[in-house]
Structure 1
Amino acid sequence: MNKPLILVVEDDKAIQKLITTTLETQGYQYHTAETGEGSILEAVSKQPDIMILDLGLPDMDGVNIITKVRTWSNMPIIVVSARSEDRDKIDALDAGADDYLTKPFSIEELLARLRVSLRRVRYDNEKLQKDATIFTNGFLKIDYLAGCTWLDGEEVHLTPIEYKLICLLAKNVGKVLTHNFILHEIWGDYANDVPALRVFMATLRKKIEKTPSHPKYIQTHIGVGYRMLRVSEDCKCTDSYSEN
């Protein structure tokens, strides 16, 4: 596993040294910045896992930095500042900071806050990876890792070709896929048997559509190809066209 990368934004050399030395002894990687402009450049170019941010920088208020970063990143931001008024804390947290430590601070507490933020980063990354392996559309669910398909909670037994077809449509949900594109993706460069494709699509529809002649999930564009429609669980049948 890669070591977490921390961006330390602090213009006080002594405090910056204290934080970076602590990070180094704990096995973290780090970059530093001493200005607001520098912090944004480092955040964009280095893509750190966490930012430790002082609010009192020479060129820009830390709250403005938080606001700017939040327009494109959800990385945890831990504020470490001499500002101890409740209003300052509220402004930073409302702008998007995840945590707030007041100077002088305990190194042990800073490390504890870092560990909490890293757990959140790991959880978010794991959830993102898990979500990327599961496709849901109305009552239809495909688990790409398991190679399984369910409809309304019951597993649907598909042939290998049917499964390839439904995955291809699902990964391009909302897009019309031409016959040639589907044939190339499923059977290879020289496939051109559109009638065979129609047969497989008909058998697939029988397994996932309650009324195959009026499909809700797979729409036919006559003479062109097919599209998987995005539906909700309470969605009624949308306008579709059938070749059969």
Structure 2
Amino acid sequence: MMAVIVIPARYASTRFPGKPLTALRGATGDARALIRRAWDAAMAVPGVDGVWVATDDDRIASAAHGFGAQVVMTPESCRNGTERVAAAVATLGLSDRVVVNLQGDAPLTPPWFVTALIDAMRAPDGPAVATPVLRCTPDALAMLREDRRNGRVGGTTAVLGAQGRALYFSKEVLPFGDGPVFHHVGVYAYTPQALATYGALPPGALEAREGLEQLRFLEHGHPVACVEVADRGRAFWEVNTPEDVARVESVLQAEGIA
């Protein structure tokens, strides 16, 4: 089964308006828009048959065309990235592909995270929806807890069942007590059928409270497979709030990413 990546991007973010066009400086001092850096991450994934930026905003579309990306325009009515990816897939007619949603605020996503998802989807009896999780390092766990202490809505944690299926996702640091905490990586892989199902489901109460789109699947009884990935010594963080810009820039510079 072939695979494509769609990067959903909207200008009117509640917590960080204009986020996709925010400039991040890399190791050479070069300032590139966040959407460009997410596209760079997508283009580094081997064996993918196409990468699109999906947006409803002409400013984002213009910026994406400027660095050579394929763009698909989607309705303003899309309430989250999964709905936007579903609209893009319907417009592009991608009915026979594994579809990867690499969110536009995750420029530090290593290519092997995405490859692991695609491999899981292609396996015999593979899932309809999959997402990566990363066992928190002490530093990552400290940043999650720092955000919560300061009232910032930062990274997301995942609680897993015995078979690696998601039990819950939260902006709180879960589960309570000792033991591993899994950082949810903001990437998803779906079958086109799962995307069509998602679009037909009403938003759930937990989805609304947490502000986490993937909870719609769980609230309506559709399993989400969690694929544990390894950081291989590379720091991972997303741009959730303006404070995260400096965090991500420090990683770009430390790892020599232009």
What is the TM-score when the length of structure 2 is the normalising length? 0.23
Larger Rg: 1
- Between Structure 1 and Structure 2, the one with more helix by share is 1
Structure with bigger RCO (C-alpha 8 Å, 6+ apart): 2
User: What is the TM-score when the length of structure 1 is the normalising length?
Assistant: 0.24
